[in-house]
Amino acid sequence: MFTEKFQAWVRASAQRLVRTLPIHKVNPNALTLAGLVITCIAAVLIGSGFLLAGGIVLLLAAAFDILDGAVARATNHVRKYGAFLDSTTDRYAESATYLALLTYFLFQHAPPLICLMVMVSLEGSLLVSYVRARAQSLGFACEGGLFARPERVILTVIGLVIPYTLVAVVVLLAIATNVTAIQRILIVWKQDRAHLVPEKDQ
């Protein structure tokens, strides 16, 4: 994942930005849904073969994904439902993006293996998020891993704006997302094992 310092910098920058905007009447959930709509527009562009435009629009959608949380904190509208909605729409957004990539490769008559890599990337991305959510519901801490959502989005955008890298990006995502899911499974396993180790006599 990105370093904690970088994540903190992104959050702080978003907080500074929202302070300069008339956001008091802005509903954070509306920003979350707007981000999903923008991602779907990006998906249509990608599936239609407009990769550069799709990458730029996808980057814009990522900005909304950052701003919704910043607005929620700035307006004191941090709610559990907001976090739930954000996580749910993120899964829809990722699915739309990967299905758009699959559509693009199918229209380009790409080798079946590349299309398979897209689906493996989608599977890995969903598993990364599911493992974390399931672990947290059981009381485990499940941060870390190689490719969290920010890394996946940025790498996808790079593949779209530099099209000759797109196949390599898809292959990397297929590998890295599943490695990340396995890393998180191991993180939870180690925590569970730690609870099973009997305490030594004092």
Q: Please give the pLDDT value at position 202.
A: 39
Q: Please give the pLDDT value at position 176.
A: 95
Q: Please give the pLDDT value at position 201.
A: 46
Q: Please give the pLDDT value at position 9.
A: 55
Q: Is 20 helix (H, G, I), strand (E, B) or coil?
A: coil
**CA distances in angstroms from 169 to 62, 72, 155, 158, 166, listed in the order given:** 18, 33, 7, 8, 5
| pTM exceeds cut of 0.85 | yes
Q: How far is CA 90 from the centre of its chain?
A: 6
For residue 67, which of 86, 84, 41, 91 has the smallest C-alpha distance? 86
pLDDT tens digits along 29-72:
888 999 999 999 999 999 999 999 999 999 999 888 877 777 76
pLDDT tens digits along 108-118:
999 999 999 99
* HEC secondary structure over 133-195: HHHHHCCCCCCCCCCCHHHHHHHHHHHHHCHHHHHHHHHHHHHHHHHHHHHHHHHHHHHHHHH
Percent helix, percent strand, percent coil in the chain, to nearest 5 = 80, 0, 20
- Domains of the chain in sequence order: 4-192 (1.20.120.1760)
Contact 160, 54 (CB under 8 A): yes
Residues of the chain where predicted confidence (pLDDT) is lower than 50? 3, 199, 201-202
Enumerate the active-site residues. Answer: 90
Q: Please give the pLDDT value at position 27.
A: 78
Maximal C-alpha separation, the chain: 68
